[in-house]
Structure 1
């Protein structure tokens, strides 16, 4: 079973018979050729199987890469929206801080104003508490004189009626 090309069909190997090459040598050469052909076909089939496997692996890799690219795009979109939302939150936080400062300054002014008004409010309450007593004090002489005034008015009414007639 020689596989070298110089040995197969080479004139040095094949002895010559009466009409050319010997039948045994020709048979051996054909047998070697068939064996090499089967080996080549076997290697081709193996290579085709391997190529098919590699193509399938490549297709799967390409599909996986496409899915990963889609996921990456979605993640980029999410990251962009989160970045935008973060900027909005930071802007709102800055506005809230400004409002806190404004309210704190307002509160400070109000506390100062309330502190200045507090004695006047206390004095007003004291005066309001005294109002009923003062009203009673002011109206008590009138209350004493009301019966006398009513009697005088009745007498005047009688006199006025009598003079009309």
Structure 2
């Protein structure tokens, strides 16, 4: 892999992490649902003005918006406001990947290979370890569970995006 691509990957990871620090800081000022609404409002204004509606069936557009936008961020912001640390939230939110694989198999009939099943088992074990550590913590298990639900919401958004098969994926993401 060229050095430029490696540096871009590092930049993405840094921006991803900074996103959670920004969420944490904003939650010290605003309640969670207002904070999430402001985040989307700031993005929606230029998007509505300058980005054409994605050419996908409305049901997949709505499904993507509900899963990726509403469910993911409502649960994430609520979980973080109730005590989920920013660093741990960024890790637990990655549960969207195994959730997407499982939902793809259950809802879309996709095949899960033995290697993928082993990865799912390892991911589930890791989340169980993280969750078990939250049981004895000050904030309790609820913020962890809410963040897991955020990952599940993201997974539903992933399935909707896959079904939509947008010709311009960035338009759908926006």
TM-score category (smaller protein): under 0.3
Instruction: Output the TM-score relative to the length of structure 2.
Output: 0.19
Larger Rg: 1
TM-score (norm 1): 0.20
Larger relative contact order (Cα-Cα within 8 Å, sequence gap ≥ 6): 2
